[in-house]
Copies of this chain bind each other. A is one copy, B any other.
Amino acid sequence: MNRTELQKEISEAGLKVTPQRIAILEALVELANHPTVDEIIAHIKEHHPSIATGTVYKTLETMKDKGLIMRVITDKQVMRYDAVLHRHHHLYNSETGRIEDYHDEELNQMLEEYFKKKNIENFKVKDLKLYITGEFLDN
């Protein structure tokens, strides 16, 4: 995703295109694995030293509301963000806090199929996310 595409995305979400917003969205794309706000700021600071913490928080909140990015849920108390929006799941190690995306089209279809048939009383399903907890076997 290059700069022009990022600008287009921001603009199409009805937001003004500012250098800060481009930098934040870019950071989110480059830091592929669910960065915390701190990690985002650290990454941006290299090329954009004067960005304010508050701005990053406000911007992430705005982008989340506009559907440009999403929050990843964890059992820790820092928020993590993700710019990957198509349906995917997560591998999660609760002890280390490490999270990785898990893409599995077959799983998506199986789940979709299942909930098309199954009716949950009093609930309208919008999205399905599987959290696969366990241990990473590399490093």
Taking the nearest CB of chain B, how far is it from the CB of A82, in angstroms? 11
Can you spell out 11 A-B residue pairs with CB atoms less than 8 angstroms apart? A72-B75, A73-B75, A73-B131, A104-B118, A107-B118, A123-B137, A124-B137, A127-B133, A127-B134, A129-B130, A129-B131
Render A84-126 as a binary contact track against B, CB cut-off 8 A, 1 for contact.
0000000100000000001010010011001100101011111
In the complex, A77 has a CB within 8 A of chain B: yes
Q: Chain A: interface secondary structure? A: strand
User: Smallest CB–CB gap between A53 and chain B, Å?
Assistant: 15
Which one of B102, B131, B133, B135 contacts A131 once the chains associate, using CB atoms below 8 Å? Answer: B131
Q: Tell me the number of copies of this protein.
A: 2
CB distance from A69 to the nearest CB of B (A): 12
A128: B residues at CB distance < 8 A: 130-133
Contacts of A75 in B (CB 8 A): 71-73, 79
Q: How far is the CB of A108 from chain B (nearest CB, A)?
A: 12
